[in-house]
Amino acid sequence: MSDTALRAPFPERAGAALKDTFLQEALTIATTKFIDLRRESFAGFPQGEALRDQARAIKEATLQRLDAHLERLADNVERLGGVVHWATTADEAREIVLRLARERGVRMAVKSKSMATEEIDLNEALEHAGVTAVETDLGEYIIQLAHEKPSHIIAPAIHKTKGQVAELFSRELRGEFPADPEVLTAVARKALREKFLQADMGITGANFAVADTGTVVLVTNEGNGRMVTSLPRIHVALMGIEKVIPSMSDLVVFLAILARSATGQKLSSYTTLVRGPRRAGELEGPQEFHLILLDNGRSRQIASTLREALYCLRCGACLNVCPVYRQIGGHAYGHTYPGPIGILLTAMLKGNESVRELAHASSLCGACKDVCPVRIDIPRMLVELREHLDREKIAPWSERVVFRAFRRLLMSETAFRVSARAGRLLQKPFVRQGRLRGLPLLLGRWTRTRDLPPVASRTFRERWKDLR
Amino acid sequence: MTARADFLARIRREVAKAPGQFAASAVPRPPHPGAAAEAIRRELTERWPQALERFREEFERIAGVFHRVPTLEAVPSVIAAIARERGASRLVTWDPAALGFDPGPVLSRDGLVVAAVRAGQEDDAARERHRAEAAAAQIGVTGADFALAETGTLILLSGAGRPRSTSLLPDVHVAVFGRDRLLETLEQVGVMLEALHADADRSMSGAMINFITGPSRTADIELTLTRGVHGPKEVHAIFVEAP
């Protein structure tokens, strides 16, 4: 998606997505499949519900002593010979990576999939500094070659057909490749294998970091997370501060539910635990290990509205079940993190102004909360966010005026009664087959895609007088 | 870059502002992880046959290939058969001391080129040589420190004589293990990890632990499941009956 498309207002972006028939089909197939896989996985796992409660309690306990856990993590990483960097902002985090690359003469960096590096736009910064940054997760590799952005947290290229990928690979990798996922995967394997062996720096995120032991944990299916932490001479891990957990005993609780929520697997193919640089006696592994702890707006929310969003494991389950995401896909959201949790994370990282439209891109149906492995109450926070937008006068004035009028109406019995009568009169031309359709002016936007029940010929309040 | 003290002070301030909102408890760590790990091992000396059956079932469900042999002496011929079927000619293995046996002589007699890592060789020349050998090998042979029945997972500790890439770069990964490596649940893995880290500098010679659950896989192109993206296309587990 181009920059202009990203700058377009949300309704336009969503509208474009709704008209894209391929995208519509791809989204339905992908999200339905993920939903089924997740459901089957938890159906055969009775202890899953208790583990979800436990995982949630661990996240809350960690937040209540976040400073102490981060300190312990940092002490342990340093004791192991790693270097810890503290980045308050995205700018600082980028600067740390760029400085490391510059000082150590890094020409090529291989990356495993990391939403945190997407969040700080690291690739652009590296390219700008003359460092080739290669995404190695197959989905990320595809969208990097296509100069696009991920459209799903765990399946970044679900918006592309195999035909499009074949064309892309044929052009960028110089060959003639058929639209066969097996062949295309083999092509990527070969191209990326060379990069793994040549690269000077491996860049990863972290799914978890264990404070007790100074361990960074990466969960992947392809094995690229293992490559980038085993072959290059420098490993840089960038993690949001909320990823820290206290102990190995806690880690296994999360592992038991993470892959099940994301892809329906019992465990992802690879769970990699990294404790600092290679030890004396090891033939392989990086000489240097750097851990960048990223705040970027997170700590502001510890004592604020979006606190619970800090529990998020980035599994993507809430995207798949969201009736809005299922219709418009990830790009229409216009930010790094899409879907229901993405709205909250965007507000967290970029401020409430950035979601003045997105805060309404939810039907508040609660499906996201039901599937969240740590039971984040996303709908509650979305409502609170809308309230903030109104109170801080960020919401458009028209919206605020309408809601204020609505509140007046609901709080006065007389006004409510009168408005019912007025409505009954005014609605007459628009009632067809017992439903309100084709309303005029601004209201027409609502009835263009759905109808409304008309005001009853006798309202409940009117009937109640007789029934009493 | 922010100074550590300032960074942590900010977080401390925010944490102090926020009253705990929800139920909060971390998992209690085992007070004596070593003893807890021993207790699990003792229990498994009775239950290992059931654990093995479950491991086989789960491992095969995720496309693993399971083999069972009576003694270590029978292992090399299984590996040779795997190599023959795939037309593989080059193998890389962990240090025979870390494997618990030396498959080299038998496999070499079959005309296979075997590069065995030796603990203690770790100068730059050895590193370069090893990387070239690992990258050229079609089969990598390792042990397994744990075999987790619940999920069909092989758990490997890196270290001296146990390179990380032996189970990663070749197209085929073969892991050899005995009954004393079997575990039943992730919870037990948690205890083992606690025990390993209680005195990590002595119990582990490497910096990495990998949980391997089947072959490398992706579904990034139209959700079509494809194996062997970056890591092995095939994973074999050879279980050795003899204690």
Contact flag A56-B26 (C-beta cutoff 8 Å): no
Angle at the Cα of A110 (from A108 to A116), degrees rounded to 5?
120
Tell me the mean pLDDT in the region A336-354. Answer: 95
Q: Which two tokens stand for residue B241?
A: 């009956």
State pLDDT tens for residues A98-139: 999 999 999 999 999 999 999 999 999 999 999 999 999 999
Instruction: For residues A133 and A13, state if they share a domain.
Output: no
**For residue A129, what are the contacts with CB-CB under 8 A and spacing of at least 6?**
A98, A101, A102
- The beta strand positions in A117-157, using DSSP E, are 132-135
Query: Which pLDDT value is given to residue A154?
Result: 86
Q: Identify the band that residue A275 occupies on the pLDDT scale cut at 50, 70 and 90.
A: very high
Hey, what are B130's tokens? 């090893």
Q: Minimal Cα–Cα distance from A203 to chain B, Å?
A: 16
Q: Which residues of B touch A67 (CB under 8 A)?
A: 8, 11-12, 15
* pLDDT over 50 at A3, yes or no: no
Assess whether A246 and A180 both reside in one domain.
yes
The domain total for chain B is 1
Q: Report the residue from A222, A253, A271 with minimal CB separation from B27.
A: A253
Contact B218 A71 (CB under 8 A): no
A459 in the same domain as A390: no
Domain holding B42, by residue range, is: 31-240
Cα–Cα nearest to A114, from A266, A235, A6 = A235
Size of interface A-B (CB pairs under 8 A): 285
Quick one: pLDDT band at residue A4, thresholds 50, 70, 90?
A: very low
In angstroms, what CA-CA distances link B239 with B45, B59, B210? Answer: 15, 12, 19
Question: What pLDDT was estimated at residue B2?
Answer: 87
Mean pLDDT for all residues in chain A: 94
User: How far are the Cα atoms of A132, A244, A290 from residue A122, in angstroms, in the given order?
Assistant: 11, 22, 16
Which residues are within 8 A (CB) of B78 and not within 5 positions of it... i.e. 6 or more apart? B67, B69, B238
Query: Domain range spanning residue A169?
Result: 45-294
Q: How confident is the model at residue A2 (pLDDT cuts 50, 70, 90)?
A: very low
Nearest CA in chain A to B124: A283
The reply to whether residue B211 touches residue A271, judged by beta carbons under 8 angstroms, is yes
Place of tokens 């204690």: B243
Distance from CA of A12 to the nearest CA of B (A): 26
Tell me the pairing of strands A208-210 and A288-294. unpaired
Same domain? For A16 and A147 the reply is: no
Residues in B 72-111 with any Cβ partner in A closer than 8 A: none
Residues recorded for chain B: 243
Chain B residues lying within 8 Å of A224, measured CB to CB: 229-230
Q: Do B189 and A252 touch (CB under 8 A)?
A: yes
Contact A320, A333 (CB under 8 A): no
pLDDT at A5 over 70: no
Establish if B190 touches chain A: CB-CB under 8 angstroms. yes
According to DSSP, the β-strands at A215-220 and A132-135 are unpaired
pLDDT recorded at residue A6: 56
Gap between the Cα atoms of A102 and A122, Å rounded: 14
User: The domain that contains A372 carries what CATH number?
Assistant: 1.10.1060
Of the three residues A294, A311, A342, the one that is the final residue of a domain is A294
Distance from CA of B207 to the nearest CA of A (A): 5
Nearest beta carbon to residue A30 from set B127, B131, B223: B223
Count of residues in chain A: 468
The answer to whether residue B26 is domain-embedded is: no
Interface with A, mutate which of B127, B196, B222 (most A CBs under 10 A): B222
H or E element that contains A195: helix A181-198
Domain boundary among A274, A294, A314: A294
| SS3 assignment, position A285 | coil
Looking at the structure, tell me whether residues A209 and A332 fall in a common domain: no
> Residues A59-83: what's their mean pLDDT?
97
Contact A138 B229 (CB under 8 A): yes
Residue A448 has pLDDT above 90, yes or no: no
Q: How far apart are CA B26 and CA B19, in angstroms?
A: 17
Is residue B2 situated within a structural domain?
A: no
Cα→Cα distances A328→A26, A43, A159, Å: 11, 29, 11
Domain tally for chain A? 3
Residue B166 lies inside a defined structural domain of this protein: yes
Residue B117 falls inside a structural domain: yes
Q: A372, A389, A411: which is the final residue of a domain? A: A411
Q: For residue B97, is it within any domain?
A: yes
Q: Check CB contact under 8 Å for A283 and B153.
A: no
Give the 3-state secondary structure of residue B158.
coil
Q: Do A57 and A186 fall within a single domain?
A: yes
Task: Give the pair of three-digit tokens for residue A316.
Answer: 């993507």
Q: B217 — contact with chain A (CB < 8 Å)?
A: yes
Whether residue B20 lies within 8 A of chain A, CB to CB, comes out as yes
CATH number at residue A233: 3.40.50.10420
pLDDT tens per residue, range A238-262: 999 999 999 999 999 999 999 999 9
Which residue from B153, B150, B133, B149 is spatially nearest to B141, judged by alpha carbons?
A: B133
pLDDT value of residue A166: 96
Domain assignment present for B46: yes
Q: Do the domain assignments include residue B98?
A: yes
Which DSSP state fits B205? S
CB atoms within 10 A of CB B6: 11
Shared domain check, A318 and A172: no
Q: Which residue of A has its CA nearest to B64?
A: A269
CATH code where residue B122 lies: 3.40.50.10420
The answer, for B200 touching chain A at a CB cutoff of 8 Å, is yes
Mutate: best of B128, B213, B229, B235, partner A, most A CBs <10 A: B229
Instruction: Check CB contact of B125 with chain A, cutoff 8 Å.
Output: no
Nearest to A213 among B200, B208, B219 (CB): B200
CB A316 within 8 A of CB A368: no
What is the ipTM, given to two decimal places? 0.97
Assign residue A81 a region: left if phi > 0, alpha if psi is -120 to 50, beta otherwise?
left
Report pLDDT digits (tens) over B176-230: 999 999 999 999 999 999 999 999 988 999 999 999 999 999 999 988 999 999 9
The tokens for A172 are 């960028």
List of chain A residues whose C-beta atoms are within 8 Å of the C-beta of residue B216: 221-223, 269-270
Output the six-digit token pair for A330. 């990830």
- Residue B91 has φ and ψ, to the nearest 5°, of -125, 150
Residue B14 lies in a domain: no
A245 and A108, same structural domain?
A: yes
Among residues of chain A, what percentage have pLDDT more than 90?
80
Strand partners of residue A288: A234
Looking at the fold, whether A323 and A443 belong to one and the same domain comes out as no
